[in-house]
Amino acid sequence: KAGVTQTPRYLIKTRGQQVTLSCSPISGHRSVSWYQQTPGQGLQFLFEYFSETQRNKGNFPGRFSGRQFSNSRSEMNVSTLELGDSALYLCASRSRGAVGELFFGEGSRLTVL
């Protein structure tokens, strides 16, 4: 079974630009969540989608948005990039099993110059 796939793996943008990151969950997983990871801050929850609906949202500004498609693939978008948006963005999918552990992708490392 293929794991969670995130693209692109690395990207460099400049301030003011926007970026779109993509995540394909494990086949059969309908829940996809996004996290921002920066040194010393751990994993900050961005949002979670289930069956194309946003179920939870973290404390991030409106510049951060996401969506989920009918095939469970998800995208997140960051507009008007700031230097502080430089981070590893991790996507995780989850089944509805008893444990419901998160399966993470390798992440998309964004650098904002």
Partner 1 sequence: GQQVMQIPQYQHVQEGEDFTTYCNSSTTLSNIQWYKQRPGGHPVFLIQLVKSGEVKKQKRLTFQFGEAKKNSSLHITATQTTDVGTYFCAGRNTGNQFYFGTGTSLTVIP
The footprint of partner 1 (CB under 8 A) covers: 33, 35, 40-45, 48, 55-56, 59, 90, 92, 99-107
Closest to partner 1 by CB, 73 or 109: 109
Closest to partner 1 by CB, 40 or 84: 40
* Whole-number Å distance between alpha carbons of 16 and 70: 30
Closest to partner 1 by CB, 9 or 15: 9
* Cβ 43 to partner 1 shortest distance, Å: 4
* Cβ 36 to partner 1 shortest distance, Å: 11
E strands within the chain? 5-7, 10-13, 19-24, 31-38, 42-50, 53-57, 64-68, 74-78, 87-94, 102-104, 108-112
Q: Are strands 42-50 and 19-24 parallel, antiparallel or unpaired?
A: unpaired
* Cβ 25 to partner 1 shortest distance, Å: 14
